[in-house]
Amino acid sequence: MPYKKLHIEIIDRVGSILMQSGSRFNKLSITTLRELKRAFGELEADPAVTVIVLSGYPGESFAVGADIAQMRDFGPAEGFAFAELGQSLFAQMEECGKPIIGALNGITMGGGCDLALACDIRLGSDALLFAHPGAKLGIITGFCGTQKLPRLVGKNFAREIFMTSDPYTAADGLRMGFINRLFPAASFWDDVVAFAGRIAAHPVEPLLYGKKIINASEDVELKSGCVMELGAFSSLFATEARAEKMQSFLNRKKNHGTR
């Protein structure tokens, strides 16, 4: 079944989900959220994909929150169902066994900001503007942003972002640690693809274990986290990729030594 709001591309082990709602902003309608759940499920299952990139490229926005005209008429039950749909998407992204890179090409606000927070790594274009403007509308986010933003940038910046409701620039994002890297708008997509390609060159198994175990670091104390790491580290010694990569490393070293 074709997607109405998304465009999917798979090139050189990088699977890109490009949000294209057909308007200036990629509003996270119920349709878009459902399609995102389906797309992440398909790319996770696809053996041709090692890394997933989520973006609004080449449009002006990454994503904004819900359609406010639609949300205005929500009662508590509809608000609950909508927030639950969003949260289940974000939980799916966190559970997904492949790295997910958020390529923040432009406007990233409200629920769109929370969507970015559900990615493992965020890359920003210098056209990025991000905000959590819920306070201006008399609400707060219902997509886990109050929990995930402080875990990423610290409580101090998170409070500032929520309390001001102001838009912040890519440079602000880099300074606060909201984005990992800042790329020029002109070369943004090339830079994103090159970055994703470096991760896609690695075997899938350590990426899977690395993601799960780093995610756990937030929820367990150091000792338990290290015990979990023991299990993950040693399990990887059963993979063919590990044996092959180590052997080729040793061969390369030998060749360097005799040149």
Partner 1 sequence: MTRAVQVQHEGDIALVRLNRPEAANCLSGAMIQSLLETFRKLKDDREVKGVIITGGGKFFCAGGDIGEMAAMSPMAAVEFAELGQKLMFAIERVGKPVLAVVNGHALGGGLELALACDFIVASTAAFFAAPEIKLGIIPGFGGTQRLARLVGKAKAKELIFTGDSINAAEAHAIGLVNRVYEPDQLLAQALELMQTICSRGPLSLRMGKEIIDAGYDIDLANACLMERDAFALCFSTEDQKEGMGAFLEKRPARFPGR
Q: Which is nearer to partner 1, 80 or 249 (CB)?
A: 249
- Rounded to a whole number of angstroms, the minimum distance from the CB of residue 36 to partner 1 is 20
Backbone angles phi, psi at 150, to 5 degrees: -65, -30
Question: Residues 82, 86, 87, 91: is their CA dihedral positive or negative?
Answer: positive
Which among 96, 116, 103 has a CA at the least distance from the CA of 208? 96
Q: Which is nearer to partner 1, 37 or 202 (CB)?
A: 202
- Rounded to a whole number of angstroms, the minimum distance from the CB of residue 2 to partner 1 is 31
Q: CB within 8 A of 24, min separation 6: which ones?
A: 59, 60, 61
Q: CB within 8 A of 256, min separation 6: which ones?
A: none
Q: Max alpha carbon distance in the chain (Å)?
A: 74
Q: Which is nearer to partner 1, 135 or 214 (CB)?
A: 214
Q: Which is nearer to partner 1, 177 or 184 (CB)?
A: 177
Q: Which is nearer to partner 1, 8 or 152 (CB)?
A: 152
DSSP E strands, the chain: 6-11, 14-19, 51-55, 61-63, 100-104, 107-109, 121-125, 129-131, 168-169, 181-183
- Rounded to a whole number of angstroms, the minimum distance from the CB of residue 222 to partner 1 is 5
- Rounded to a whole number of angstroms, the minimum distance from the CB of residue 45 to partner 1 is 20
Binding site for partner 1 (CB under 8 A): 99, 120-122, 151-152, 177, 180-181, 195, 198-199, 202-203, 205-207, 209-211, 213-215, 217-218, 221-223, 225-226, 229-239, 241-247, 249-250, 253
- Rounded to a whole number of angstroms, the minimum distance from the CB of residue 189 to partner 1 is 18
